Structure 1
Amino acid sequence: MPLTLHNFLFNVYPYLCGAVFLMGSLARFDRDQYTWKSDSSQLLRARQLRWGSNLFHIGILFLFFGHTVGLLTPHVFYEWIITASNKQMLAMISGGIAGFICFIGLSMLLHRRIFDPRIRLTSHRTDLAILIILWVQLVLGLVTLPFSYAHLADATDMLILADWAQRVVTFRPDATGLLHVAWPFKVHLVLGMTIFLLFPFSRLVHVWSGFATVVYLVRPYQLVRSRKLNVPAQAQPGKKQA
């Protein structure tokens, strides 16, 4: 990969995707709230949808929070509890299991969309596109496991990827270390950022509603009226004045 393209993809592209992700989601919510939904097809082949959806959501949530915590936690915060090598092994085992579960669920959902004529007719092109992209991203994630295992002794891949991610979120981008990682990691990163780029234009925006339900659980009670109002007799309906 040319150095110029490498620097763009890993030093500039993350901020481009992040800006579109945030501003695009806000614009979608402000202008097209009626499209802010998951477009469920649960009335058709409900059993396959139930299994596929549950497996997919369980796996993808674990992977999302696992990647977030694993990449954005500095090594110094956990080195006194677990070594980098053991942490990488833990990430490989737990991430591999979650990825396989998510892969099965997503494959079932993708099968419904493609091979059921009724569901295919009611599906938007973006529905199929985002499912295919997520499926390819999962495959790439599973492909990286053997490469991670090859560097398990020193955990270099995990440390390089974490250092890059932490520099991006702290606005100190430096993709020099990524020059030395295997190609599946690089493609996995680029496709992951692209998913955030496409997020506001797909059905994935309903994820925001999922986070909103958590906020709803801890919101304060809505105070409708603090005290009983004393309405004068002459103003009360149904009463005749003397």
Structure 2
Amino acid sequence: MITWNQLIWEIYPYLMLVIFLIGHIYRFNTNQSMWRKKAQNLLEKKDIRWEIKLFHFGILVIFLGHVVGLLFPITILRGIGFSDKVYHSFAIYFGGFFGIVTFIAIALLVIRRFMIRQFRVNSSISQFMVGILLFLIIGTGIYATVYSSNTSTFDYRKIIGPWVRLLITFRPNSELMVHAPLIYQIHVLLSFALVGISPFTGLIHGWSMPIEYLHKRKLMKKR
């Protein structure tokens, strides 16, 4: 019999990843042209361009930080010269800075979408959902960073890192996440929820934005 912990920490993540994969394949095969059209519109929103650029830059740095912290075992990081003290200082100060920057950017974007009529009436339900989810994910991530800086009893690299690596190798272990603090659990669950809904939201245009951006730069150079 499947336990509650197995449902949350073993089945739910794979379910979100399957929806992510199938959803993108479906959207790509049914309305690929809409991807590029939406991406181009997003690049041309001058009123919120600096917030968007700030958000994208910040989220990229945060993503790379997560890749290093979750996918690279502690022994590898120590082997290349990253002691635990150096890693945690880097994660707290450097990661915390970009986390706050990204949080401010998404907060401004969400506030604009809710408070300014021009943005509100032209926004879909999925755009509101994505904004709120990103706001909560980044917010809980910052809180988790503060939590890590104030306690020496929990190191996410020893629990969440192995859990992620076991998921990737199809050897899920729900018992690991049971021992993670609640704030980390919420952060992970919200992140997978965002992964699951992304094919049906504007996040799907992130795949075509780099192509569209490079295409526009190429056309500008030819002029």
Q: What TM-score do the two structures reach when normalised by structure 1?
A: 0.79
Task: Note closer, same or farther for the CA distance 1:117–1:41 as it changes in structure 2 (3 Å cut).
Answer: farther
Higher relative contact order (CA 8 A, sep 6+): 2
- Could you say if the C-alpha distance between residues 97 and 63 of structure 1 is closer, same or farther in structure 2, counting changes exceeding 3 Å? same
For the structure 1 residues 191 and 34, does the alpha-carbon distance in structure 2 shift closer, same or farther, using more than 3 Å as the test?
same
Task: Give the structure 1 partner of residue 66 of structure 2.
Answer: 67
1:22-33 → structure 2 map (5 Å cutoff): 22-33=21-32
Structure 1 runs (4+) greater than 6 angstroms displaced: 213-216
TM-score if structure 2 supplies the norm length?
Answer: 0.85
Matches of 2:213 and 2:7, distance apart in 1: 36
Aligned length: 210
- Quick check: 1:178 aligned with 2:177? yes
Residues 72, 166 of structure 1: 8 Å contact kept: yes
Following the alignment from structure 1 to structure 2, what is the Cα–Cα distance between the partners of residues 118 and 72? Answer: 42
Native 8 Å contact 1:17 1:197 kept in 2:
yes
Q: Distance in 2 between matches of 1:85 and 1:23?
A: 41
> How do 1:1-242 and structure 2 match up within 5 A?
4-36=3-35, 37-38=38-39, 39-40=41-42, 42=44, 46-47=46-47, 49-80=48-79, 81-152=81-152, 156-210=155-209
| CA distance in 1 between partners of 2:73 and 2:199 (Å) | 30
Percent of aligned pairs with the same amino acid: 28
- Report if aligned partners of 2:58, 2:101 keep a CA contact under 8 Å in 1: yes
Q: Which has more radius of gyration?
A: 1
Shift of 1:149: 1.8
Cα distance, 1:41 vs. partner?
8.4
Partner of 2:220: none
Seen in structure 2, the aligned counterparts of structure 1 residues 215 and 59 have a Cα distance that, compared at 3 Å, is same
Contact 1:84 1:155 (8 Å CA) reproduced: no
Let me know the Cα RMSD of the aligned residues.
2.4
Q: Which moved more, 1:193-202 or 1:6-15?
A: 6-15
Question: What are structure 1's unaligned runs of at least 5 residues?
Answer: 217-242
Q: For structure 2, which runs of at least 5 residues remain unmatched after alignment?
A: 216-223
